[in-house]
Each structure stands twice: as C-alpha cells, then as structure tokens.
A and B are shown apart, each in its own frame.
Chain A
Amino acid sequence: MKQKLVIIGNGMAPGRMLEHLFEKAPEAFEVTIFNAEPRVNYNRLMLSPVLSGEKDYQDIITHDDDWYAGHGVTLYKSARITGINREKKTVTSENGITADYDKLVIATGSNPFIIPIPGHDLDGVLVYRDLDDVDRMLDAAKTGGRAVVIGGGLLGLEAAAGLKMQGMEVTVLHLMPTLMERQLDTAAGYLLEKAFRDLGIDVITRANTHAVLGKDGHVSGVRLDDGMEIDATIVVMAIGIRPSTQLAKEAGLDVNRGILVGDDMRTSDPEVFALGECVEHREQVYGLVAPLYEMAKVLADQLTGGTSAYRGSVTATKLKVTGIDLYSAGEFAEGEDREEIVLRDAAAGIYKRLVLKNNRIIGAVLYGETADGPWFFDLLKKQLDISEMRETLVFGQSYQGGPPLDPMAAVAALPDDAEICGCNGICKSKIVNSITELGLTGVDGVRAHTKASASCGTCTGLVEQLLAFTLGDSYTPSAVQPMCGCTDLGHDEVRHLIRAKALKSIPAVMQELEWTTSCGCAKCRPALNYYLVCDCPDEYADDYQSRFINERVHANIQKDGTYSVVPRMWGGITSSDELRAIADVVDKFDIPTVKVTGGQRIDMLGIAKEDLPAVWADLGKAGFVSGHAYAKGVRTVKTCVGTDWCRFGTQDSTGFGVRIEKFIWGSWTPAKVKMAVSGCPRNCSEATCKDVGVICVDSGYEIHFAGAAGLDIKGTEVLGLVHDENDALEHIVALVQMYREQGHYLERIYKWAKRIGYDEVRNQILRDAEKRRAYFDRFVFSQKFAQIDPWSERVSGKDKHEFNPMATLTLEAAQ
C-alpha cells in the first residue's frame, strides 16, 4: 500500500522535491498537491522577463498538466488549505476538499510585506509575487502613466525595469542610501543606481513613504516624509517577504519567523515537513532559489528513508534586468581578519570585489562583468585555497594558468596610431614624440603640451605608462603625494576629476576614480566630502559621518571629551545684552572656564556634550549664532575701531569687518580662514599675518593675503589697492572662492597661494574682472545653502542622536 503524501503549495521548491522523489522512488507515494493559485507549476524566477515582455507565461511553465498526470499526482488548483488536523492527519481546503495524509509537506512560501501606511489598501496598490500580480501590472501598464515602486531590492528593481519596458514612467523609492544594500556594497549600489537612471528610471534613495494618496478609491500618488508628492497610477510594494506561517501556527507547530525545521526538514511534528521560503532553519530564512533546491533534495531523501541533512546555504544573487550585470554572493562585510581584492575599471563601468579570509573566498560582488560569478561562487562554496592564483584571481577563470600580465608589455605592443586619449584624439606616437622632443618628464607636461589626459583624465594611467616606457629608468613618477592610502591620485587630480566627470557623491568618486578600498578612510572621506560640498552646494547631501566630530556637533572637542562653544561676535563687537546672556549661560550650566580668544570673541570651555543643545538654545535667544570656531571654514574677522573712534582711522574698519563677516560666515573652506581689517597702517588688528587682511588707507583698501601666524610665521602678500568698499568686498570674496575651488583639503591659504604662485592669484582676482565676478557669483550661490545657523537647527531637533546616550544600563550589585 502506497503512503499518502500531501503537499500544501505548488511552488518551485516542492516541484523540485517531487522530481527528486520520483527519481528515487517513483512508486513510494500517492501524491496530492493543493495549490492556492489556479495553475500548474512555473518558474517564479522568470516573472521579471514576463513582466518586461521578453517571455510569456507558456515559456516559464516547469511542470504542466501532463507531467502531473504522468506521475499520478492529484493537483487541486485554486484550492487554498485552511486547516490541518494533526490528530486525524487530514488537511481541508477552502473549497471543501479534505485529504488524508501519512506524510505532510508544508510549502506555503512567503507573503509580500505591505507597509501599513495610510492608503495601502487603495485600488492600484500592488505587490510582486506571483503571476496574478504580473497580470495586474501588465493591465495597468496598458494605460500608461507613472508607476511608483517602493523598495529598491532585487524584486523592486526587476519590477521597475519591467514596468519601464512596458512603457510606464517609473520612480523607485528606497529607504536606504544605496540600492540593494543587503546584497551590494555602496560602490556597486552606486553603479546600479546610475544604470537605472540611464534606463530613464527615477531613483530616490533615503525615501520614506508617508502615505499612498488616492482619488475615488484608486491610487493617485504617494507622499514622502519630507512632504514631496509623486503622481502615480500604480504603486508596487516590493519591500520584502515574510514566511507564510499562519497555517502551521494554527496547527500548533513550532513557528518563529518561519516554520522551524531541523536538518532533516522535519517540523516539531515528525510526520510533518516544511520546505522553501516558509521555513526557518538554524535561525535563517531564505528567499532565493538555490537554498530551496538544496532543501528539496534533502527532503526527498528523508521521505524515502535516507539520512541526508540540510546544513544551511550560502546564497548568490543575480539581478535579472536586461543590460545590467550584477552578481553577489556570500558575505561582503569588512572585517579585521578579512582581506579584499578590488578591481575597478571606471571607463567600462566594472567593479569587482572579492572578500577573502584565510586565503579563501567568502564573498564576491561583481558589477558590469559577471561571467566569473559562478566560478567565484564555486570557489567560495568549496572553500578552496586561492593563494596560488591570488595575483590574478580577480581577473577571472580565463586568466588562471597563463603568464602574469605585464602592463608595460601591453603598452609597448600598442601600434603608433593607437588612440590613448579619446577626449582629445591623441594617439600614442604623438605622446611619445612630445616626450622625446620636448623633454617632458611628467604627466603634467604631457597634459600641457598634448592635451592627453587633460579632459576626463581616465587615460592618466596609460599616459604614465607611456612615460615610463619612453623614458625608462629616468622616469620618476611625479612627486604628487597621493591623498591617502586608498588612491594613487593627489588632491589636484581628484578635484579635477570630480569636476570633469561631474561626480556628485562619495561612492561615485570612489568608483570612478578607482579607489582601492570600499569605503575610504578617515583621511580621504572628510576631504572628498568638502570637495563635493564646495563643487555642488545645491545637489550634494553633506555626509556628516565623513566629517570630523567638531564639524558634526558644531563645537570643539577638548582633551577630556567635553566641548567648547564660541558664539559669533561680528567683527568683535558685543553689547551688554550679549555679555549678560553669556554670563547667564555660564552660571546655568556651571561652565568651568570662560576665555577671550585671539579672534576677539568669547570661548566657553568644558561643556558636556548632552548640554550643547540647551546651551545653544539660550545663546540663540540672545541672538547669537555659531562662531564656527570648530570649522574648516570662515572663523573670525578681527577689527579695530577705525573712524568710529580712532583719531587715526581712515575708513570704517569695524563696519567693513562686520560686513565681510556677515557676507561670508557659514562657508566651508579647505582649512580655516581668519581675517582682519585694520583702520590705518598702524595695523592694530594685525591684518598682515592673516589668511586675508585689509589695511585701510586714505585712498581706499589695501587687500592682503597669504599670511600665517601659527606653525609658520609669514607676513602677507599684497593683492592690490581698491578704492571702494563694495569693490573691496568683491575682491575678498572672489579670492576666498578661488581658494575654496583650488585648495587641497587642510591646506591653508598661504600654502595654496605659494603653490600656485602669488601672481596667479593677482592675475585672476585683481586683473581679470570677469573671472573675479564669476568667482564672486559662485560664492554667493553656494552661500544660499551654507548660511544656515547650525546651532538653531540642532536646537530645533536636527541630529538629536548626536547628543543623547542611546541607553543607560544600571549595574547590578556585585555578587
């Protein structure tokens, strides 16, 4: 007598399980399947090609009616099981069918998770799980309009690409900063986002959906937390799946996140097995197909009396969107005992990263070229020692065994007319001839004389190799100091390339400029953050986690971890009200030290971090704003009392100092900027050792720059004499902007000006009115985004997490 095997669910996992079962013991069971869907078994992985129109339903059927008939399987379609009676060993369906079992397999899969926001139940809010969902999306696509896809994971992105191919406008909303963050690191996530934009799909990251908006019961759009509204004719929620466990729970089986099974795929009832996405095994739930197939094999063996065991799976993911090649497997987190191999090819849009531990691959992320994905995954699963082929590993399988590649040999082998610089159409012979005829010794020279690598810069490496090839040992790569250990590029090159390639984020810079680490270091991140803040003030979202603590909490950290606070006193002028407010704050918060600074203001030292917002709130009430005493930015404009009081004053030095400070405060600069205005050549405000200084004279304003009075002592250089205060302001602002655009991070004005030449500054700022005006205008534009008091922002709640502990634990009495 055959045993009765009942299977609840007809997805890919039970399909595969039955194949194994019939192969091993075709006569052992009488099989009955209950399928809630009204159809046979199909390949769910292929839903995306169906949605995009590249395949249709018939193409993706894995088991048709004939197959079930041929194996004597009874398949009930549209028959959702509503109850399991474990005592009587029966299951009963919604439409009244009851079946006995000897062995039961629960394969109920998973349910899409729907965010319970207002409007989630409107007509036109869809999920992406089965063929019915695809049909609904295809129907909606016929009328066109915009689809909003919530969720930038695997499913959401495939849905977005499919809907786009069906002719809809598509916006993807993703809560996290980068797409597919569970499978990809930020570099690959960046490339993916770029590829989606190239497909014409809008991607909004850090997007928290507040509500689905409706009209007459149907979706009309979505609203985000920040108030932004997007019109939509359909909304697809693809934020994740939950194991479908309701049935098992009601039957009294042990259920956690999923239905709990052991290595033998048995639930807490030995006659009942579970399989697939509904399962939780060793605290893991799986949503990808490979682990489900592994489970299916084990279950088939167990059902036929075997002893094989499922021990969990490592998983690999591949995104199925035409034109985008993406592969991710295993773990890609960094760790101390882990090493990484990163290969980037910016021009080809390739990023490959292998994560190694003890000379074995434990993770791989591939973007742009994924042919070697399965090979890496195989090495990963087999845990093979790769030390033998380590040097060439990342290049893939086809490179193994051959002689190691010599980049010089490749360059030498190029024909004379091979194009090196695509932007400017410069070929190899032109560069080589220039090097020999003009005696060039470095990339800068080649750039100046041939224009090769002067535009986008991606051929810089090739040009360097040509220099090495032509000059032999006499070529010493330019003394350019790399920014940090994460790149060979110097600050100048990085700034140049950020502009040439219009890069707008730190991951973009790291990818396009081929950073050798995945997320930079404490040296390059603050620099890149500044360069991007400076170059795209309107578009770039300041990355606070890449800022030094002082700039993150807008106060100066002291040796004991407390902070000091310096409010702005414009031009060093204060009043009794301001002083009283400071005195009150000092008393109220018991501030231990109050000191007058060299920049003509007052420093309160020794304030606990938690007290900062309250201190600022009180200071703010008296009209104070942040003095940016902590910032790589504009600090103070020191003044003397000028014509207001001084019998020698020639101009209103105080008024002008205040005016400059009010114009430029809040601006970020490569390093701190300190200024001063003196009312006469006696120079009581010591303007001639400042970054920028003004000496007022009878005929106008003598502008100085590039002074220093710190690590180095240096008197200023004279920029020139300007007769009118407005003109003087324009010169000063333009000079600061020129420095902002050209300075290396942490390089003070005096070093920058010496590096580029004092005359170059005079040429651009004093002698070229058009350039000056352009600098001035760019500064004014960037101030629109910079001149916001950070203290009052934080008093009103911004970055609250910075100032409060996350938790307080009370110690237990020692025993």
Chain B
Amino acid sequence: MNDQSRARERMEAITRRAFVIQVGAAAAVLGAGAPVLAQTGAPPVAGTEKLIVRSPRPLNLEAPLAELTGEITPYELFYVRNNYDGPEIDPAQYVLKVDGEVDNPLTLRLDDLRRMEQVTQTVTLECAGNGRGFHSPKASGIQWEHGAVGNAVWKGVRLADVLRMARPRPAARHVVPNGNDAPPTPQAPDFIRSHPLWKAMEPHTMIALEMNGKPVPHLHGGPARLLVPGWIGSASIKWVTQITLADREWNGPFMQRSYRSPRAEDPKETYSLQSLECKSVIVRPLDGGQVAAGAVTVFGFAWAGEGTVVAVDVSTDGGRSWMPAKLTGEEHRYGWRRWEHPWEARSGRHTIMARASDSLGRLQPAGRPRDPQGYRWNVIHAVRVDVA
C-alpha cells in the first residue's frame, strides 16, 4: 500500500467513526426526549434546555434575550461559547502550572487556590461575536443574535496574587494562559490567547473557582477559569491549566487571525480586540410583541467593557426623540447595569430604541462599518411593538 492509499484508508476510518458519533448523539437525544431534537437537533446538556443550540459540537449555546430578565444570569441561561470542547476535569486531579519568565515556577492544586485570599465580583461576559448574525454581508462564525452575554457573580483568586508568588522576571510582558480544551485534530491549533501583563495584574482579573455561589460548572470552564473582566469573552480562558509568562504576545492564529477588527483609521489594518463595546439591549417589551395600552416599563441592560455606563437613552418614537432612562440596577465596575423607562403606550405600532453611552465617551452607534469576522456588534437595539 503506498502512502496515498494509507492516507485515504485513514480518512475513511475517521469518517466512519464520525458517523458512529453522530448516530450515537442522535440516540442520546431520543433517550432524553424528542422535543429537544425537534427544537435543535442537538444532544441536550442537563439544565440548559432553555438555551438556543447554535452548535452541539463544539458546544455553543445562546440565551434567548426574552429570558434574560434578571440582573444575575443563572447557569440555565448563561451562554456557552466553545472554540473546542474539553473533557470534564476531576477537581481532585486539577493542576495549574505557572511557568515561563518566572523565578519560581508553580504547580497549584485546587486546594492551594482555595487557601489563598478569595475575592468576589459581579462581571458581565460577552462573546466578541455576539450579534454576528446581524452583520451584512454575513460574517463567518457562530451566528449569534443578542444572547451571547451574561452577568454572574464570580469568586476566586486574583491572578496578580498567583503571578506574584511565581515572581515574574523583568522580561515578562505577556501572560499566556492555556486551557484543557481538545482540538479535534493534531493539526488544529490549540486555543491560546495572551494578555498584556498590565491587564493580568489588574486587581479584577482573576482565576474563578465559583460562579453564582457554586463551583464553576464544566460548561463555564470549571473547576477553574480565567476571568478577564471588561474584555471579550475569549480572553477568559476556560479550564485553565497553564499560565506561561512570556516576553511577547502569543503568535498563534487565535491572536493573529481571529478576534481582530479593522482599524477605524485604516480598515486594511486590524487590531486585537480587548475591551467590550458600549452596548445596551432591550429585554422588555419583546420585539414583535404586543402590549396593552397604558403604563409599560421598558427595561434592559447596558455594559461598556473597560468603560462605565453613564447613561442609557430611550426613544419610543423610532429615534426622533430620546429620554434618559433610570439606571436602576446595582453598579459594578465590570457588571452590566439594569435600566428602565416608563412608557405610556398608546394604540398603534411603535419602535422603541435604547442607546447607551459610557465614561470613555463612547455612544452606541446607529450602524457598524463592515467587520469581516463579525465582531463588535453594538448597533442601537430597536424593537417593534404593537399596542392593542
């Protein structure tokens, strides 16, 4: 058998195995109940039935915006974004290595991390591609709408405390975290993204061990995930098992090809995405819904990455006039802010819009220039409502 034949045999075997996997998945769905298959065609994961399945493998789940009514997003409604899936880690076997440009390389178990000073903070995570489905022309990737965002209470250790224990050398300028995800082929690049040391040392950046009062679930990167508040979700590497300090940014495709947008001053050049945009979404009333005439509370959430939301303006006449909404929710440095606005609804069809502005002087825009990979969607959210 020559090399070409052997390669073909191998591909054939892989293809056969993939079909077995697919059929196995279908069988699992049938065992768990037909409605899920009818809705999504995907194997369900316990407790996530309310989420929209964008892809079962790798698992990508989106929250229906209509369900995101609470200030804290529960596990059942928290979006899941995986570039690659990863195997579950036995907490007793979990090990985090800290190495590279450090004088004191570390090997830490979960108990070691638990014994360190714990911090708790409310942080909004949003996928860089949230809203990709609204871009025109279509950008490749998961076609998220509004729901690849969630706000949770995270508890764990400051990354800075871990890094100080490792004693970074002067050459250390970047932190390169790696997670325990599993690319499907040996040639597929590992999912690695790096951060400048200043952000890693910022006191909000943490290794999270708990989410909403429970150990971080596997779907959200447990038993330990990085949390880089205010930055695009992919910065917060899941299942983090290694943190390497380096003198330069990581040179892999998830830094140099993905998670980049055109520069405003020269769209031919791209830059690596860091902070989330300034953005608000309307949770009520529902787009395309009906409400009774009379007093209606328009509400939603706003967030701004490295900025702080300073105002949300609401229009109930399709953008002709704007009124400041009341910021009613708790204020957190990196958490979203609930807002609401009383509206006296009269019969007819209305377009309601919300527009956030932030401490960095950013205002939610009416449109977005082309972004080939479909990032940064923060166009003013508009919903159409019929008032009976």
A binds B: no
Interface set of B (CB-CB < 8 Å, partner A): none
